[in-house]
Amino acid sequence: MIDSHTHLDSCEPPNAELVEQARAANVKRILTIGTELENCRAALEAAAEFDEVFAGIGLHPNSATGFQAADADWIAELAADDRCRAVGETGLDYYRDNAPPADQLRAFEAQIEIARAVDKPLVIHTRAADDDSIATLRKRADGVKVILHCFSMPKAGSSRSPAT
């Protein structure tokens, strides 16, 4: 069994206890996801400490305010680590008003390119942004493996766009 998406750093017990519980439940691999610089570093540290833990490196759409080239640089640097197995959690989230849509889109597009460059899957969080998320993937992610982690797409063409 594989846990393909967790946030070890968000849990109360220490990583050693969480990993031991996973082992006891016969979980063989754990992908812990970073969503901003500090917990991406923590994800890589956990991956270095435990053989069954690997990291996902990225900037969550709700943390994308002010996204710039320096953010893409640290994501690319950390994503190149051998213990990193995916880029993201990235995408678009119009449900929450935590980051401007234009910043989210710049971060999403940059992380698509990073995933392509390091040849790792892209972990996507999309909420209330169906049309823009699919359009961005169609336009930019050809050939990139995609894992839809969080999505709210009850029917195509039903999301609102920040432009409307």
Q: pLDDT averaged over the chain? A: 91
**What CATH number did the domain enclosing 126 receive?**
3.20.20.140
Q: DSSP E strands: which ranges in 75-135?
A: 84-93, 122-127
pLDDT at 3: 84
Question: How far is residue 127's CA from residue 20's CA, in Å, rounded to a whole number?
Answer: 33
Number of domains in the chain: 1
What percentage of the chain reaches a pLDDT higher than 90? 79
Question: How far is residue 9's CA from residue 111's CA, in Å, rounded to a whole number?
Answer: 22
Question: Residue 163: which pLDDT band, with cuts at 50, 70 and 90?
Answer: very low
Q: Is the pLDDT of residue 160 over 60?
A: no
What pTM value is reported for the model? 0.89
Q: Is the pLDDT of residue 77 over 60?
A: yes
CA 109 to chain centre: 13
Question: How far is residue 98's CA from residue 159's CA, in Å, rounded to a whole number?
Answer: 18
The burial of 36, by beta-carbon neighbours within 10 Å (0-12 exposed, 13-18 middle, 19 or more buried), is given as middle
Does a structural domain hold residue 116?
yes
| Residue showing tokens 């969550």 | 60
Q: Is the pLDDT of residue 48 over 70?
A: yes
9-13, 47-51, 151-155 — which is least confidently predicted? 151-155
What mean pLDDT comes out for the span 63-81?
98
Model confidence pLDDT, tens digit, residues 133-155: 999 999 999 999 999 887 776 66
Element (H, E) at 118: helix 101-118
Model confidence pLDDT, tens digit, residues 13-31: 898 999 999 999 999 999 9
Does a structural domain hold residue 32?
yes
Radius of gyration of the chain from its Cα atoms, rounded to whole angstroms: 16
Question: How far is residue 25's CA from residue 29's CA, in Å, rounded to a whole number?
Answer: 11
Does a structural domain hold residue 160?
no
Domain extent at residue 95: 2-151
Does a structural domain hold residue 14?
yes
Does a structural domain hold residue 159?
no
Does a structural domain hold residue 156?
no
What mean pLDDT comes out for the span 99-126?
97
Does a structural domain hold residue 164?
no
Question: How far is residue 45's CA from residue 53's CA, in Å, rounded to a whole number?
Answer: 10
What mean pLDDT comes out for the span 97-119?
97
Does a structural domain hold residue 20?
yes
**What string of H, E and C letters represents the secondary structure of 42-63?**
HHHHHHHHCCCEEEEECCCHHH
